[in-house]
Amino acid sequence: MLKLRSARRKDLDAITEIYNEAIIKTVATFDTEPKTYEDQKKWFDDHGSKNPILVAELNGVIVGWASLSKWSDRCAYSDTAEISLYVREEYQGKRIGRRLMEAIIKEGKKTGLHTIIARITEGNELSLHLHRSVGFTKIGIMKEVGKKFGKLRDVHLMQKIYKNH
């Protein structure tokens, strides 16, 4: 059974493994070098009470994670977060991404966020679809801002604003 829960320090190896797989194989993230455990510990600790990280656990195996990280360290942005969402390659296409997406959005509302930004690399139709389906709208395209695997790539910016705060 799939269980969605808050991430703990002990999940960091699995989270890192999933993220590093995406760094090496995909343009979903513009990181290009695999993260170390130390990098990830810092990343984890940068998430305060307002910035949740969730993991998806299937029969004891961490198969995906999602986060609402700080958009900026500048204090006026404290109710704005950036979403990240990754599912282990062999478990993709099984609705785990959708479940994680829905759960992290609920969590962000609980922690008092006002809005979420998504940066999605051109061509990631699945991710664009998934974000649209939960109420993100496109707010712009940053042209040719990243170079990965030898090609300049655009990034689509999407945003969701929580209603009824």
15 binds ligand COA (CB under 6 A): no
Binding mask 102-131 for ligand COA (x = CB under 6 A): ------------------x---xxxx-xx-
Q: Is 163 in the site for ligand COA (CB under 6 A)?
A: no
Binds ligand COA (CB under 6 A): choice among 4, 23, 53, 87 = 87
Cβ of residue 41: shortest distance to ligand COA, in angstroms?
22
The residue among 59 and 75 lying less far from ligand COA, judged by its C-beta, is 59
The three state secondary structure string of the chain is CEEEEECCHHHHHHHHHHHHHHHHHCCCCCCCCCCCHHHHHHHHHCCCCCCCEEEEEECCEEEEEEEEEECCCCHHHCCEEEEEEEECHHHCCCCHHHHHHHHHHHHHHHHCCCEEEEEEECCCHHHHHHHHHCCCEEEEEEEEEEEECCEEEEEEEEEEECCCC
Asked whether position 95 contacts ligand COA by CB under 6 A, the answer is yes
Nearer to ligand COA, 78 or 124 (CB): 124
Point out which span in 5-13, 40-48, 79-87, 103-111 binds ligand COA (CB under 6 A).
Answer: 79-87
**Rule CB under 6 A: which residues touch ligand COA?**
22, 26, 28, 85-87, 92-98, 120, 124-127, 129-130, 133
